[in-house]
Amino acid sequence: MPINFQQTYTQIKTIGAQSEERRKKKEEARELARKLFSEYSDKLDLLRTKVDSAKQADANIRCAVPVDENLASSIGTVDSVIQATLIAADGSQINPDRHASIQFGLINVGAITMKLNSGETPQIFTETELLFGDDLLPNNIPMSEGLVALKRDFAERSALDELSKNIKGDIVTFTDGPIELWSAKGEDSHSYLDYSQKYLGVLSRLQSRGVITAGYVDKPSADLVVRLLEIMMADNEQIKKLRDFHPLRNVSDRWLFGEEKKPLLKPGERSAIFKIQSSSEKNYTGVLELHFFYLNVGTEGKPYPVRVEIPKWVVDDKSKLNLLHAVLVSQCQMMGSKRYPYLLNRAHEIAVVKNEEKQQIEQLLTLEIKNQGEEVDTASYKQGGKDSLAKGRKRYGK
C-alpha cells in the first residue's frame, strides 16, 4: 500500500500549527544558554566541582568538562602546515542477513596517505575481511550489526597504526566519527570487552610513537557543552534526577558555537579543549583520556562547527595540537564550499561497498561452496518478494 498522504498531510499541518510555540521555547532556551555560557566561562573550578557532584548521583552522566581554557575561548591556527604525513581511514561493512541464501559479512577499510609539500602522489590502501562460518558466531552468539560496526571501527584505527609504523617525522591520522567506542549491551557485551582492549592497545601504540590521532565528527548531534550548562542549573534535588532534567533541550552545541548571526568561533578557529565525561571514561585513562574541541570549518557568514575528538597525549603537546588544528583547516578548505577533510572524503570513496559488489561476492561465495559439494540454503520468501519489487516486478503474478 502507498503512503496515506491524507493522514500525513493532516499531521504535517498539526506540526506547522505548533511552530510558533516551538520557536518561542527554543529562543528562550538559547538566550538562557548564552547567558550561562558567558557567566561560567572563567569559573572552571566551579564547573568541575559541579560535574563531580553530578557523577556521585549518576556515574554514567555524559557531558563536557573544562580543562584549562575558558569556555568562551576561540583559538586560531598558529602555523601553516609545512611538513607532515597525513593518513586517513574510513570503513564500510556488509552485515549478515538471515533472509539471504548464504550468511556472510564483510568489512572493507580504505586508507590514504599524503606527504605534504613533497610532490609525491598520495598512496591508497584497501583491507578487506570476509566474515563467514564461525566468524559470525563470536562467543557462540550470532554477530549483530552493532558488533560488525565495532569491528569496522577497530579495523579503521588499526589501519592507521599499521600505515604509520615506518614513517618518520610528524604524522597526523584521523578517521570519520568519534574515537570513543560505544559500549554494547546484552549478548554483545563480552565481545565488546574483547575489542575494547584491542582498540586501547592500538591507541597506546600510536601514542608510544608520538602519532597524532583524531576522530572527526561532522554535524555533531551531541550536546556535551550544553549538558554541562544544564548541570550548573540543577539544584541538589535536580542533581539526583539529571536524566529527567533538560531545561536546555532545544539548544545544541552546534548552535552554541556556530550561531549564524554571532558565532562564537570565526572561520578556522577552535574552541576550548574539553574532557569527555561518560560511562566509558574508565576505559580511557592516563594519556588515552578522551577530549574534544569544536572547530569552525565554515566560511564568513556561514559557520559550520564540527567536533574533533583527541586523546590526552595530543592535548598535552601544544605543537601536536596546533599541527592537527592547522591540518584539519587546510584539508577542509581543499573541498571548497562543502568543507570536509579531503583525505577522509577520498578514504570514504575507497572504502564504500556498492550493492553490485555485494551481489558479486555473494554469487562467488555461493558458487565456491556448491563446487565443494556443500549445501547452500535458499533465500527467505520475504527476501524474494523484496528482490522482485527492487527489480520493478509485481509482488504477485507474472
Is the predicted pLDDT of residue 30 greater than 80, yes or no?
yes
The residue range of the domain holding 158 is 85-351
Q: Give every strand in the sheet of 305-311, ordered side by side.
A: 63-66, 274-277, 290-296, 305-311, 212-217, 171-176, 85-94, 105-115, 123-131
**DSSP category for residue 378:** P
**DSSP category for residue 265:** S
Interatomic CA distance for residues 82 and 169, integer angstroms: 12
- pTM for this model (two decimals): 0.91
Is the predicted pLDDT of residue 395 greater than 70, yes or no?
no
Q: Is residue 351 classed as helix, strand or coil in its secondary structure?
A: helix
Query: Number of folded domains in the chain?
Result: 1
pLDDT band at 73 (very low <50, low <70, confident <90, very high): very high
pLDDT of 398 reads 36
Percent of the chain with pLDDT over 70: 93
356 lies in a domain?
Answer: no
pLDDT band at 390 (very low <50, low <70, confident <90, very high): low
Is the predicted pLDDT of residue 374 greater than 90, yes or no?
no
Q: Which residue has the cell 578487506?
A: 128
Q: Is residue 66 classed as helix, strand or coil in its secondary structure?
A: strand
125 lies in a domain?
Answer: yes
pLDDT band at 296 (very low <50, low <70, confident <90, very high): very high
What's the mean pLDDT when you consider all of the chain?
Answer: 90
Is the predicted pLDDT of residue 299 greater than 50, yes or no?
yes
- Contact, 343 vs 88, CB < 8 A? yes
- Contact, 314 vs 212, CB < 8 A? yes
Is the predicted pLDDT of residue 164 greater than 50, yes or no?
yes
pLDDT band at 183 (very low <50, low <70, confident <90, very high): low
pLDDT of 384 reads 61
131 lies in a domain?
Answer: yes
Interatomic CA distance for residues 14 and 279, integer angstroms: 39
64 lies in a domain?
Answer: no
130 lies in a domain?
Answer: yes
375 lies in a domain?
Answer: no
What mean pLDDT do residues 46-62 have?
Answer: 94
What CATH number corresponds to the domain at position 252? 3.30.2170
* pLDDT tens per residue, range 137-152: 887 888 888 889 999 9
pLDDT of 186 reads 57
* pLDDT tens per residue, range 234-279: 998 999 889 999 999 989 999 999 988 888 999 999 999 999 999 8
pLDDT of 137 reads 84
370 lies in a domain?
Answer: no
Q: Which residue has the cell 528482490?
A: 387
pLDDT of 387 reads 65
* pLDDT tens per residue, range 96-110: 888 877 889 999 999
5 lies in a domain?
Answer: no
